Amino acid sequence: MSLQRLVVSLGCALALFGSTAAPVLAASTSSNPLQPAVSEKVNRPIHLEGAENVRDLGGYKSRYGLGLRVKSGRLLRSDSLDKLTDADVSRLTQGYNVRQIVDLRTADQIHKKPDALFEGVNYMQASILGTRSNYDNDDEGMYKDMAFKPAAKKSYHRLLTQMAKQKRGALLFHCSHGMDRTGTSAAIIYSILGVSRKDIERDYLLSNTQLNVTWAKPALLNQFFDDVQMQYGSMANYIHKGLHINRAQELAIRANYLTARK
């Protein structure tokens, strides 16, 4: 994490502490291209008291069938869950039927800010960056590690394998800010589900909107895709050969998370 991100994060935490109001999406109508407008139809934001960057991945069109879209209420992404209130936990478990949480943070980050307790919900740690928690100002290096580091590929494999198995309930995956590690994970998931690069980028940039920052950069997401393309030839090859997700698992993910219903 860079010093700039740390300073802003502390400010956000202080602003959130003691507040009982749902976070305000101050940039939701911004003309800043790095902060796309939020929507209630696709990537619907989930307003919680103890987390600011939570949203539903559902709604986007898929290229794998006429009228197919990503199911709403089945895949959720978020920032750290350590400040969730009892009402937040209740909303996620009862309102969204969250049954699985995949924590993409390092063991050190989890130790310092453990997730709120979700009774009856399965929990999995899948640290994308292994044991390294700090990249200072080296975002490019971090994104390269998030593509090729053995820990990263193992973590994506565990996340995707769980998705292939999970027939019911919602799966929530998150890191610290819900932006970088969560962003590359979402990009891989959306690629399997046949979502366009344009929509993948929009989902990625919505973290800027919800956190009212400009940390997420299209160039970083493009670097992730370009690095994968250069080494594996395509995202499909990366998923099959790099992440060791087989065809049956890929089809199961599509069956679980795509729908023709509007």
DSSP H helix total and E strand total for the chain: 10, 7
Q: For the beta carbon of residue 246, count every other beta carbon within 10 angstroms.
A: 12
Q: Which residues of 1-23 are buried (b: 16+ CB within 10 A; e: fewer)?
A: beeebeebbeebeeeeeeeeeeb
Higher per-residue pLDDT: 262 or 255: 255
What is the pLDDT confidence band of residue 3, given thresholds at 50, 70 and 90? very low
C-alpha 71/C-alpha 53 separation (Å) is: 19
3-state secondary structure of 8: helix
Q: Virtual CA dihedral for 92, 95, 99, 102, nearest 10 degrees?
A: -30
CA distances from residue 231 to 185, 220, 238 in whole angstroms, order as listed: 18, 17, 8
Q: State which amino acid sits at residue 106.
A: T
**Burial grade of 215 (CB within 10 A; 0-12, 13-18, 19 or more):** middle
Gap between the Cα atoms of 195 and 76, Å rounded: 16
pLDDT tens track for 33-81: 999 999 989 999 999 999 999 999 999 999 998 899 999 999 999 999 9
Residue 12 has pLDDT above 90, yes or no: no
Place of tokens 């309102």: 95
- pTM of the predicted structure, to 2 decimals: 0.89
Mean pLDDT of 16-44: 67
Phi, psi of 125 (to 5 degrees): -95, 130
In this predicted structure, the answer to whether residue 18 has a pLDDT above a threshold of 50 is no
pLDDT at 134 over 80: yes
14 pLDDT more than 80: no
> Given this model, what pLDDT does residue 27 score?
40
Say if CB 193 and CB 62 are below 8 A apart: yes
pLDDT confidence of residue 133: 87
Which tokens hold the place of 5? 């991100």
Compute the distance between CA of residue 216 and CA of residue 224 in angstroms, rounded to an integer: 13
Q: How confident is the model at residue 215, as a pLDDT?
A: 95
Q: How high is the pLDDT of residue 262?
A: 63
pLDDT at position 112 over 90: yes
Instruction: Answer yes or no: is pLDDT of 29 > 60.
Output: no
For the segment 70-99, the average pLDDT, to the nearest whole number, is 97
Q: Which residues pair with 12 in a beta bridge?
A: none
**pLDDT at site 136:** 86
pLDDT attached to residue 129 = 97
